[in-house]
Structure 1
């Protein structure tokens, strides 16, 4: 792991994500980029993040944007000073753009290995109508995304839940999951949530999970069949039962109507659990 991206809106959750990223960077030697995106209406395209003004821009808009950028850069410097990161390379970037577009472009252009983002979570009508920037990144990012809600000083992982239906081709995701497990020397708990609507016999499921473990040469793992009414509830209950430090899942990355119709357990978990979630998009 060489490059970690931490998008920040200067919230408490984003600061928590930055602190976790520093812990991971100390283990891996990775460099961190702190990124804040100033989102502006379409008419502000005449202004750049460096403070340069294009022809035709409005004077009041210039003044507003200059003050906004000055305030943003001050907040960025304050965030840098707020947490010790000695021995870890941290660079900062402030840009004027649409947050999701800028994050996706940065991942590609900087060859980012991991995105660490804070998540406030959402529920009910707010979740249905607007979702969250974190959820959108989880759905579309081309690299693993670690979501963090609460402060975790000296982030360490001992117990990991890997939840899946073990039906899709998860080889691409599995390599990332194994790397994260090995990084912390953690125990990996493979779990299949058996629900009334998609019930399978325990013997068949254990064979399926054992096959997966052998196919990907997993080490230090356990195989678990957990019964619950819904998959998401089962994952959360199992994770709480074993006092998991991390949940890992693959996401299909569907968008639009397909996402609303099929849902995504990984993205729902990002919204609803207090436990950090590592997601990998299935290509």
Structure 2
């Protein structure tokens, strides 16, 4: 049996086979190169109740599994010449629960999820799963909402808050810098007449990054009444390729506002968003069994 150190690093891509799978995979492959990792596609079969009228539960599960296996194999075959190993696995049940369990058991470096082309009830269902994964995942989560035309990701925007540090993002950025040497833009939104505090904080963080050897760092203070709108407006007029954010768990009313900011950015960002929840402890649970083409 392999030890943890000998395990192949993995990046988990949760897919519903929607129109965004190609773009989601492009992002995952970019980071697979960074981590020298394998990409693992995960499809979760969640049976909608209306279909039970036409199939027995057993027939329905079998049919959906067969279709999923066929589609997963097609995706793997069409990307086999990209220099990154791609495998797949299938689970049954609640998507967000299976995504979190698979991520823990495979000890993945990150989770990549696409939410392109989702509207109304379809988005409400998928959006809820994405939100739960981001809040509970112990690793970075990347969401892809629109077509990705450029995966160079040569300019990364780190949205920061003076109330919190960026220790986890800084560590992850160090790995990314060593592979791709991007320009890093530190952005702080001043919404409480705290522009001076933001400027001081950004200068401190910039100096820390430069000491780490990350020298291409610029800082920007945005002014506005809404954090999410300010960030999205800046993305629209800048040349950043990806936004990175730390999410911090809060309770009660503060949690509502934090959720609103996170969801606004995730849903409306034209570029991929990497979310990282610092100091999140890994969940514990019993073994879950998958239909898959790779060993855990």
| Length-normalised TM-score, structure 1 | 0.82
Please tell me whether residue 263 in structure 1 is matched to residue 259 in structure 2. yes
CA RMSD after TM alignment? 2.9
> Is the contact between residue 44 and residue 95 of structure 2 (CA under 8 Å) also seen in structure 1?
yes
> Is the contact between residue 3 and residue 112 of structure 1 (CA under 8 Å) also seen in structure 2?
yes
Report which stretch shifted further, 70-79 or 151-160.
Answer: 151-160
Give the SS at the match of 1:147.
strand
Q: Could you tell me which of 31, 37, 42 is aligned with 1:24?
A: 31
Equivalent residues in 2 for 1:204-219, closer than 5 Å: 204-216=197-209, 217=211, 218-219=214-215
2:153 maps to which residue? 157
Please tell me whether residue 98 in structure 1 is matched to residue 91 in structure 2. no
Please tell me whether residue 178 in structure 1 is matched to residue 171 in structure 2. no
1:199 maps to which residue? 193
Equivalent residues in 2 for 1:6-25, closer than 5 Å: 6-25=13-32
Give the SS at the match of 2:70.
helix
Q: Deviations over 1:147-178 (max 9, x none)?
A: 11233356111111111112213312321233
Equivalent residues in 2 for 1:35-50, closer than 5 Å: 35-40=42-47
Q: Mind listing any 5+ residue stretches in structure 2 that lack a counterpart?
A: 1-7, 50-54, 280-296
> Is the contact between residue 8 and residue 35 of structure 1 (CA under 8 Å) also seen in structure 2?
yes
For 2:57 and 2:64, locate their aligned partners in 1 and report how far apart those are by CA, in whole Å.
10
1:108 maps to which residue? 104
For 1:63 and 1:239, locate their aligned partners in 2 and report how far apart those are by CA, in whole Å.
47
Q: Deviations over 1:172-220 (max 9, x none)?
A: 232123333443211011111122xx11143x42221111223353421
Give the SS at the match of 1:263.
helix
Q: Deviations over 1:226-270 (max 9, x none)?
A: 212311111112223221101111012458876335435233211
Please tell me whether residue 120 in structure 1 is matched to residue 116 in structure 2. yes
Q: Deviations over 1:40-82 (max 9, x none)?
A: 479xxxxxxxxxxxxxxxx932222211211111111122233
For 2:68 and 2:231, locate their aligned partners in 1 and report how far apart those are by CA, in whole Å.
39
| Length-normalised TM-score, structure 2 | 0.78
Report the CA distance between 1:5 and its aligned residue: 0.5
Give the SS at the match of 2:200.
helix
Q: Mind listing any 5+ residue stretches in structure 1 that lack a counterpart?
A: 43-58
Residues 259/156 of structure 1: CA separation in 2 closer, same or farther (3 Å cut) = same
Give the SS at the match of 1:116.
strand
